[in-house]
């Protein structure tokens, strides 16, 4: 028993090393540039793929070939990082942090397709490291010697980083910039060079982590997102900006995983979740993290939110009538597309409710959409429920998740909130994926069909239209209710809101739960629309769909999500038709959009109208 | 000065032996004072004297290390800001805190809705609620004409007046104003403080304010409390404080520079 514990501890430590390399890179970059680099997992993936190619090319048999390949891969990734910084990030440092996150997600999509084009869809089995192919007998069991090497690399890199940050001029500058960027700039340091070099350095660490992982596991196209979710957990637990915290958390999570898999695989995620929860309750900024210094972010002056004027109301009514009359003329294929669009509009509106008035940007909203879908499907499969009660069960399950996850999330704000929502969504996804007995795992749940009266395309279209329109209008009413105002008050100025008796955290918690409920309704409808549910319903790309719809329409407008949903769905559909590499095109579109329209489409339109007619804005 | 001196039996605010340290810095060390109904009391002192720390403990933004804060006899030390507000303490901030995505009127309505316990209503339109009461408050501070403007675009002096209207919305017994005239033009300063003094004397609100501008202090304060490096240096009627040689030495600058720092 004791030797089992020891070997599992060693296993955990070995897997912690790569995690630490990627997490520390992310942390260092965040410290200086204040950007959470979503694409860090992608850089890790690139490190693995490049390592695979380079090692094969240099000769995997010789130590020089292997290690040379690993180091070269890390250097190449560092170079790619520098390119990304110069081409994209440099231009968006002044943008709102949400848009920065989104732009880096655009990079994720682009790298995914680049990797697919270069290396193909098959997994690439890595070479084993020369000199480290044997086993070491430890505690009566065989232990791969490469794992021992990895265990040593973690602390070695930690020590190296410590030396770099304490003893070199560059490291001192990085630390200084982490504490006070403006001051470092005022002192005449070349900021551009510093930022680029920091980004390249962080990227290199991720690349190294990926290349070193090769002998342990194959390089796959999924390793980017699974890594970034784990890294977010590590960074949230360890404290953003703290390298030592990243190591501590990586070890904690690595060991936890190793034991979880040994004892009961399904509970691993719950275990990770619980550890994260406890840490966040006791230390909201992580084990070794500190409350972000200075102002809690220069509170942006948000535009006024006014109820729709008569023209907008009329346009809305007209659109609704048009949608209601459509089945008389439209073919079934168009009805199918529109049904899906309606469902996504509700999904986008639900995210907008917490993100716009609430200022709570969720990067994992698909969790509630997906749980809604699973709620409906599980009710059908296990309870034999017909459609009507199943549709009620959908928001119920999503709402419970919203209440539980939301309780943690509203304790954080900004990028911390974004990372935590993403981590929760990943946990929900992994649960659906792994709990095969309940959810069917990857095969999903099939045969989720509507009741007889709603089977026809037209009938289901009307059902979706009625439910979605009602929910979207209800969310609108809430935005202009005292609760919605209180939510905006908490976002605009929490200090003032608390000073006039508003419990800001509870208001935000309620908004989180309401948004989850509404997303659950959309998810339930989607399950019956498709007739099946799959884990992809809760996956990160689906969360990003919602984010894009909201941002495309403009966060600080009430009609934004509706316009955004239609625009986005149209855009992605066209892209998918036009090119095989639609992810690349979409990623590029996102990046360009962030650079050109930082206020979204409707926001940009309103700003344009304001510029045209000075009388309209001044009143 | 113009206060009709209501029965000074029990003070609205009684602070006793209040203390707060940040690490090794003793920001406030055992300060005691009282504020009576209808009076304007100024809390003054050089930078770092502990004024804002004191204020943040009174408003609940900071938890005191020790000491008593009694509001009409009820202890409020260590309560949260929103609990203190419910007990009848209005507050304005050194850097104005308003809701920039709302109009002036909506800012005041928000406070009125919260005072009436109406925040948890998700289906009724907020714009219609307490609109008349909000306008009355805005008229009181002279902001009615700008009621429909966004708070994000107001001039600084106007924002201060909006904040005052918001702070008065729950009919507080005590008004805390941190640097109410900072960043304002001289004429605006006099207007705002005269307005505050009038409201205080008319409604019997006790007002405690910090202030850097000595002209404002001596023109409007009934009583002055002087802090220096976390300690109470002097307390008394404005005129007596103005003459106090100790206060002049550390603070007003009588030509002699105090030694030691």
List, as ranges, residues 545-564 from A with C-beta within 8 Å of B. 556
Can you tell me whether residue A127 is helix, strand or coil?
A: coil
A463 CB-near residues (< 8 Å, 6+ apart): A450, A454, A525
Per-residue pLDDT averaged across A213-220, rounded? 90
Say what the pLDDT of residue A473 is: 93
> Which tens digit of pLDDT belongs to each residue from A419-474?
888 888 888 888 888 888 888 888 999 989 999 898 899 999 999 999 999 999 99
Say what the pLDDT of residue A601 is: 65
Which residues in chain A are contacts of B123 at CB distance < 8 A?
A: 477-478, 481
Cβ separation of B97 and A495 shorter than 8 Å? Answer: yes
**For residue A596, is pLDDT > 90?**
no
Say what the pLDDT of residue B256 is: 42
pLDDT confidence bin for B259, thresholds 50/70/90: very low
Q: How far apart are CA A33 and CA A181, in angstroms?
A: 8
Which residues in chain B are contacts of A299 at CB distance < 8 A?
A: 100
> Which tens digit of pLDDT belongs to each residue from B37-57?
999 999 998 888 889 899 999
- Give the minimum alpha-carbon distance from A477 to chain B in angstroms, rounded to a whole number: 6
Share of chain A above pLDDT 90, in %: 41
Per-residue pLDDT averaged across A368-386, rounded? 94
pLDDT confidence bin for A267, thresholds 50/70/90: low
User: A75-79, A164-168, A279-283 — which one is most confidently predicted on average?
Assistant: A75-79
Beta-bridge partner residues of B236: B224
B215 CB-near residues (< 8 Å, 6+ apart): none
Say what the pLDDT of residue A216 is: 87
A401, A413, A391, A384: which is closest to A470 by C-alpha? A391
Torsion of CA A2, A4, A7, A12, to 10 degrees: -110
Give CA separation, A418 vs A200, A406, A493, A547, B21, in Å: 24, 12, 20, 11, 34
Taking CA atoms, what residue in A is nearest to B168? A500
- Give the minimum alpha-carbon distance from B95 to chain A in angstroms, rounded to a whole number: 11
CB B31 within 8 A of CB B50: yes
Which residues in chain B are contacts of A481 at CB distance < 8 A?
A: 121-126
**For residue A211, is pLDDT > 90?**
yes
Please state which of the ranges A33-47, A303-317, B119-133, B166-180 shows the lowest mean pLDDT.
Answer: A303-317
Say what the pLDDT of residue A599 is: 64
Per-residue pLDDT averaged across A89-107, rounded? 83
Share of chain A above pLDDT 70, in %: 94
Residues in chain B: 261
Per-residue pLDDT averaged across B223-246, rounded? 89
A276 CB-near residues (< 8 Å, 6+ apart): A233, A236, A237, A423
Say what the pLDDT of residue B6 is: 47
pLDDT confidence bin for A349, thresholds 50/70/90: very high
Beta-bridge partner residues of B41: B208, B223
Q: How far apart are CA B64 and CA B236, in angstroms?
A: 25
> Which tens digit of pLDDT belongs to each residue from A462-499?
999 999 999 999 999 999 999 999 999 999 999 999 99
- Over chain A, what is the mean pLDDT? 86
Per-residue pLDDT averaged across A106-118, rounded? 93
Instruction: Indicate the residue of B82, B91, B122 with minimum beta-carbon distance to A481.
Output: B122
Chain A interface includes B61 (CB < 8 A) = yes
Q: For residue A50, what are its two tokens?
A: 């490049």
Say what the pLDDT of residue B252 is: 56
Query: Vertex B253, ends B247 and B259: CA angle to 5°?
Result: 80
B3 CB-near residues (< 8 Å, 6+ apart): B38, B39, B40, B200, B201, B222
B250, B234, B228, B246: which is closest to B28 by C-alpha? B228
Chain A interface includes B59 (CB < 8 A) = yes
Which is more confidently placed, B192 or A291? B192
Cβ separation of B124 and A495 shorter than 8 Å? Answer: no
Q: For residue A428, what are its two tokens?
A: 């929900």
Which is more confidently placed, A7 or A496? A496
Say what the pLDDT of residue A263 is: 73
Per-residue pLDDT averaged across B120-135, rounded? 92
Say what the pLDDT of residue B253 is: 56
**For residue B8, is pLDDT > 60?**
no
Q: What does residue A139 show for φ and ψ, rounded to 5 degrees?
A: 50, 45
Cβ separation of A495 and B101 shorter than 8 Å? Answer: no
Residues in chain A: 619
Say what the pLDDT of residue A557 is: 76
Can you tell me whether residue A449 is helix, strand or coil?
A: coil
Give CA separation, A130 vs A16, A134, A152, A612, in Å: 22, 9, 17, 68
**For residue B130, is pLDDT > 80?**
yes
- Over chain B, what is the mean pLDDT? 87
Chain B interface includes A500 (CB < 8 A) = yes
Per-residue pLDDT averaged across A546-564, rounded? 82
Per-residue pLDDT averaged across B53-75, rounded? 92
Instruction: Indicate the residue of B98, B115, B152 with minimum beta-carbon distance to A496.
Output: B98
**For residue A618, is pLDDT > 60?**
no
Chain B interface includes A496 (CB < 8 A) = yes
Per-residue pLDDT averaged across B7-22, rounded? 84
Torsion of CA B77, B80, B84, B90, to 10 degrees: 120
Count of A-B CB contacts under 8 Å: 120
Query: Is pTM, for the whole model, over 0.90?
Result: no
Say what the pLDDT of residue A35 is: 86
pLDDT confidence bin for A297, thresholds 50/70/90: very low
Q: Which domains does chain B have, with CATH numbers?
A: 10-88+172-261 (3.40.50.300), 97-168 (no CATH)
- The alpha helices in A531-613, defined as continuous H runs, are 540-553, 560-578, 582-596, 600-612
Q: Estimate to the nearest angstrom the gap between the alpha carbon of A111 and the chain centroid.
A: 16
């Amino acid at each position: 028993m004791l030797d089992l514990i020891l070997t599992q501890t060693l296993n955990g430590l070995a897997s912690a090393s790569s995690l630490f390399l990627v997490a520390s890179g992310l942390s260092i970059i965040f410290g200086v540039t204040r950007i959470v680099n979503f694409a860090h997992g992608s850089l890790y993936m690139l490190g693995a793929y490049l390592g695979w190619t380079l090692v094969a090319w240099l000769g995997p048999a010789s130590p020089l070939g292997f290690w040379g390949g690993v180091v070269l891969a890390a250097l190449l990734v560092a170079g790619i990082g520098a390119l990304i910084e110069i081409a994209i990030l440099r231009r968006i440092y002044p943008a709102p942090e949400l848009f920065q996150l989104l732009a880096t997600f655009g990079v994720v999509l682009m790298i995914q397709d680049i990797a697919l084009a270069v290396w193909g869809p098959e997994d690439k089995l890595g070479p084993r490291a020369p000199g480290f192919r044997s086993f070491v007998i430890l505690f009566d069991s065989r232990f791969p010697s490469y794992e021992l090497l990895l265990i040593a690399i973690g602390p070695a890199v930690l020590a190296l980083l410590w030396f770099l940050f304490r003893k070199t001029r560059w490291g001192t500058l990085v630390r200084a910039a982490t504490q006070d960027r403006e001051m470092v700039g005022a002192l005449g340091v070349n900021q551009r060079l510093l930022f680029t070099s920091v980004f390249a350095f962080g990227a290199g660490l991720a690349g190294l982590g990926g290349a070193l992982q090769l002998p342990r596991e194959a390089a796959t196209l999924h390793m980017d997102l699974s890594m970034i979710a784990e890294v977010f957990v590590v960074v949230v637990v360890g404290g953003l900006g703290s390298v030592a915290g990243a190591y501590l958390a990586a070890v904690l999570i690595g060991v936890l995983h190793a034991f979880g898999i040994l004892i009961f695989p399904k509970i691993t995620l719950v275990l990770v979740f619980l550890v994260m929860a406890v840490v966040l309750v006791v230390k909201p900024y992580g084990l070794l993290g500190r409350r972000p210094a200075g102002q809690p972010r220069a509170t942006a002056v948000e535009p006024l939110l006014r109820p729709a004027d008569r023209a907008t109301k009329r346009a809305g009514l007209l659109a609704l009538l048009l949608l209601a009359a459509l089945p008389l003329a439209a073919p079934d294929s168009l009805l199918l597309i529109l049904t899906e669009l309606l469902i996504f509009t509700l999904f986008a509106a639900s995210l907008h409710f917490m993100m716009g008035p609430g200022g709570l940007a969720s990067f994992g909203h698909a969790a509630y959409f997906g749980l809604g879908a699973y709620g409906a499907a599980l009710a059908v499969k296990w309870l034999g429920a017909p459609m009507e009660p199943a549709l009620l069960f959908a928001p119920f399950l999503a709402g419970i998740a919203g209440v539980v996850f939301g309780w943690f999330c509203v304790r954080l704000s900004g990028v911390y909130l974004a990372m935590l929502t993403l981590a929760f969504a990943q946990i929900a996804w992994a649960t659906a994926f792994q709990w095969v007995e309940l959810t069917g795992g990857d095969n999903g749940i099939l045969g989720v069909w509507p009741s007889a009266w709603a089977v026809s395309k037209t009938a289901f279209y009307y059902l979706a239209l009625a439910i979605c329109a009602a929910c979207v209008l209800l969310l609108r009413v809430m935005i202009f209710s005292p609760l919605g105002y209180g939510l905006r008050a908490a976002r605009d100025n929490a200090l003032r809101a608390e000073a006039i008796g508003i419990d800001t955290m509870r208001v935000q918690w309620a908004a989180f739960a309401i948004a989850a409920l509404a997303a659950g309704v959309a998810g339930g409808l989607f399950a019956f629309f498709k007739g099946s549910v799959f884990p992809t319903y809760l996956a990160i790309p689906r969360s990003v769909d919602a984010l894009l719809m909201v941002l495309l329409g403009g966060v600080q407008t009430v009609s934004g999500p509706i316009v955004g949903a239609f625009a986005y769905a149209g855009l992605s559909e066209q892209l998918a038709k036009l090119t095989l590499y639609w992810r690349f095109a979409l990623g590029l579109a996102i990046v360009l959009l962030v650079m050109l329209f930082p206020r979204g489409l409707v926001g940009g339109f309103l700003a344009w109208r304001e510029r045209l007619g000075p009388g309209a804005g001044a009143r | 000065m113009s206060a009709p001196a209501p029965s000074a039996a029990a003070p609205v605010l009684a602070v006793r032996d209040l203390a707060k340290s940040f690490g090794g810095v003793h920001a406030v060390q055992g300060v005691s004072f009282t504020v009576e109904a209808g009076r304007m009391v100024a809390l003054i002192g050089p930078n770092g004297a502990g004024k804002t720390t004191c204020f943040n403990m009174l408003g609940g933004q900071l938890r005191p290390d020790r000491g008593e804060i009694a509001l009409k006899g009820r202890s409020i030390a260590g309560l949260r800001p929103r609990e203190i507000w419910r007990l009848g303490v209005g507050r304005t901030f050194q850097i104005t805190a308003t809701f920039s995505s709302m109009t002036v009127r909506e800012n005041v309505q928000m406070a009125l809705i919260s005072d009436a316990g109406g925040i948890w209503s998700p289906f009724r339109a907020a714009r219609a609620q307490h609109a008349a009461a909000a306008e009355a408050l805005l008229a009181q501070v002279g902001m009615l004409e700008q009621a429909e403007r966004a708070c994000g675009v107001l001039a600084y002096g106007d924002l201060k007046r909006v904040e005052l209207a918001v702070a008065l919305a729950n009919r507080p017994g005590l008004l805390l104003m941190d640097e109410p005239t900072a960043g304002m033009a001289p004429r605006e300063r006099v207007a705002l403080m005269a307005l505050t003094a009038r409201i205080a004397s008319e409604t019997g609100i006790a007002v405690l304010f910090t202030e850097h501008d000595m002209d404002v202090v001596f023109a409007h304060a009934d009583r002055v409390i002087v802090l220096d490096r976390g300690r109470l240096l002097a307390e008394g009627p404005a005129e007596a404080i103005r003459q106090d040689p100790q206060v002049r030495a550390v603070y007003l600058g009588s030509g002699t520079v105090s030694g030691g720092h």
